[in-house]
Amino acid sequence: MIRPELLRTFVRVTELASFTQAGEQLGLPRSTVSEHIQTLEALLGARLLQRTTRKVTVTQDGLVLYERSKDMLAQLDELQGLFRQQDEALVGRLRVDMPTVMARKLVMPRLGEFLARHPALELEVSCTDRRVDLVREGFDCVVRVGAVSDPSVVARTLGRFPQVTCASPSYLAAHGVPETLDDLAGHRLIHYVNVLGSRPSGFEYLQHGQTRYLPMGGALSVNSAEAYESAAMGGLGIIQVPIHGVLDDLEAGRLVQVLRDVPLPPMDISLLYAHRSLPQRVRVFMHWLTQLLGEPGVLGPPVSARA
């Protein structure tokens, strides 16, 4: 009989191409991972993985089993939660990745409420601004802010962050306060890029419902949201940022909103996951996060309300 844990081990080894990494993510010794694969191959009478000292590759038989196993495990997770009458019955590990500022300012202060309702869950939260590989790094779901272009994952929109344009008082004292797009010719933009070395898009704004980009100079490019905001407070240039991340700084006067009459496109907040049939624990977390972001004022006040 093929036990579900054998299939789970096989799926992780196939996705990570590594017995060691699969064991680390599953909390199993490497010897146990190897034993699971050997047992599965013996039960099926087929070679599923080719192992050498340098790499692990999946065979054609293994590819067939991999696709079937993903669906079967997702259905099993769904079946296990089908007759639960209370959310407290949820068990297992949930691995999530989200942007650093979102985790620090929105999710972590409220996460205790979720864990109190589901005490049997084990939650692992990765906080990073890089684009993680959902499958290879073993995440159940990933919260991403901005455009989603990966066709291999499923994306559900959770909300939208209003954006503001702002700079520090010291920067504005030195360079003046821009009031129109034409005024930006004499200003510097701090560039935010996902990958250092990539070409910055420029100043982003809405015109007739379409997102436009105005090329701007600037001596600094960063790939971290916290570095982005810190650079602005250090007087290095203008930034465009979701209002929730800088609301305290705006209220304290450390940053000043500018170009209030130039509308900015809101940033989509999406939850990404690999399979359409979600385990119950992932669906429950997604529902909680959707409710949290939907509460009045959580994403920040509408930008127009601060004009």
* Domain end (from 62, 82, 102): 82
- The predicted structure's pLDDT at residue 88: 46
- The predicted structure's pLDDT at residue 102: 87
Q: Is residue 216 part of a domain?
A: yes
- The predicted structure's pLDDT at residue 84: 55
Q: Is residue 213 part of a domain?
A: yes
Is the pLDDT confidence value at 180 over 90? yes
Same domain flag for 95 and 34: no
CATH number at residue 44: 1.10.10.10
CA dist list (Å): 140 to 69, 115, 134, 153, 306: 16, 17, 7, 11, 37
More confident residue, 263 or 138: 263
Is the pLDDT confidence value at 52 over 90? no
Please name which of 126, 131, 134 lies closest in space to residue 153, comparing C-alpha atoms.
134
Please name which of 126, 160, 122 lies closest in space to residue 142, comparing C-alpha atoms.
126
- The predicted structure's pLDDT at residue 213: 93
Q: How far apart are CA 93 and CA 68, in angstroms?
A: 22
H or E stretch at 213? strand 210-214
CA dist list (Å): 55 to 52, 241, 307: 5, 42, 58
Same domain flag for 150 and 168: no
Most confident of 59-68, 131-140, 167-176, 288-297: 167-176
Is the pLDDT confidence value at 307 over 50? no
Is the pLDDT confidence value at 58 over 80? yes
Residues of the domain holding 168:
163-258
Same domain flag for 202 and 121: no
CA atoms within 13 A on the CB side of 144: 22
Mean pLDDT of 129-139: 78
pLDDT digits (tens, 9 = 90+) for 145-170: 877 777 778 888 888 889 999 999 99
Mean pLDDT of the chain: 85
Same domain flag for 150 and 272: yes
Same domain flag for 116 and 231: no
Is the pLDDT confidence value at 254 over 90? yes
More confident residue, 176 or 218: 176
- The predicted structure's pLDDT at residue 138: 76
CA atoms within 13 A on the CB side of 259: 24
* Domain end (from 82, 116, 131): 82
Please name which of 210, 256, 234, 222 lies closest in space to residue 129, comparing C-alpha atoms.
222
Same domain flag for 249 and 182: yes
CATH number at residue 239: 3.40.190.10
Mean pLDDT of 43-60: 87
* Domain end (from 82, 99, 116): 82
Same domain flag for 296 and 277: yes
pLDDT digits (tens, 9 = 90+) for 232-242: 999 999 999 98
Same domain flag for 220 and 184: yes
Same domain flag for 56 and 123: no
Same domain flag for 167 and 239: yes
Q: Is residue 306 part of a domain?
A: no
Q: Do 203 and 190 form a contact (C-beta atoms < 8 A)? A: no
Same domain flag for 213 and 193: yes
Total domains present in the chain: 3
CA dihedral 80, 82, 84, 87 (to 10 degrees): 90
CA dist list (Å): 24 to 33, 75, 259: 10, 24, 49
Q: Is residue 19 part of a domain?
A: yes
Of the given ranges (138-152, 214-228, 260-274), which has the lowest mean pLDDT?
138-152
Q: Is residue 217 part of a domain?
A: yes
Length, in residues, of the chain = 307
Mean pLDDT of 131-149: 80
Of the given ranges (19-33, 65-79, 284-298), which has the lowest mean pLDDT?
65-79
- How many C-beta neighbours within 10 Å does residue 151 have? 6
Q: Is residue 307 part of a domain?
A: no
Mean pLDDT of 65-81: 74
- The predicted structure's pLDDT at residue 77: 67
Same domain flag for 149 and 104: yes
Q: Is residue 77 part of a domain?
A: yes
Q: Is residue 21 part of a domain?
A: yes
Of the given ranges (46-50, 179-183, 237-241, 290-294), which has the lowest mean pLDDT?
290-294
